[in-house]
Amino acid sequence: MKIAVIDGQGGGIGKYIIERFRKEFPEEIEILAVGTNALATAAMLKAGANEGASGENAIIYNSGRVDLIVGPIGIIIANSFLGEVTPEVAAAVASSSAPKILLPVIRDHIEIAGFKTEPLPHLTDDLMDRVRRYLSLK
């Protein structure tokens, strides 16, 4: 199973997700780190991703070539990450046929009703549970 972890800016969230994946699923999954920039991709590669690619075209191209997409919810919001997520990137990720498990980490003047702010480790615990359930269905 090939999982794309998409992140931007410094790649800290993607790095944390990949570190958790490597502890939970050391050999079961192939991780593709796709960053909006080279710094984010490098951080995710350092965390243990199998492959990495950077930039708008890499995200658009790879969104349709993976079995699952994970990352912060900003990857489907145009102009998020201080403009790093272009409208084309947001559309490609959102319209990909791959299932998406997204962390509700919001910084761009968007609120999600019913969402309670949780620390990243708690959000990632839930993400891991959802990925585990997804993998058990495959």
For the domain spanning 2-137, the CATH number is: 3.40.50
pLDDT for 137 beyond 80:
no
Among 36, 92, 30, which Cα is nearest to 64's? 92
d(CA 91, CA 9): 19
Residue 108, pLDDT score: 62
Residue 46, pLDDT score: 98
| pLDDT tens per residue, range 37-69 | 999 999 999 999 999 999 999 999 999 999 999
pLDDT for 26 beyond 90:
no
Residue 45 φ/ψ, nearest 5 degrees: -65, -40
Residue 66, pLDDT score: 98
Q: What is the pTM of this model?
A: 0.92
CA angle 46, 51, 56 (to 5 degrees): 100
Contact in structure between 40 and 9 (CB atoms under 8 Å): yes
Q: Which amino acid is at 44?
A: M
DSSP 30-93: EEEEEESSHHHHHHHHHTT-SEEEESHHHHHHHHTS-SEEEEEGGGGSTTHHHHTS-HHHHHHH
d(CA 29, CA 1): 5
Helix (H, G, I), strand (E, B) or coil at 22: helix
Query: Strands of 100-103's sheet, edge to edge?
Result: 51-54, 30-35, 2-7, 68-72, 100-103
Per-residue pLDDT averaged across 76-101, rounded?
96
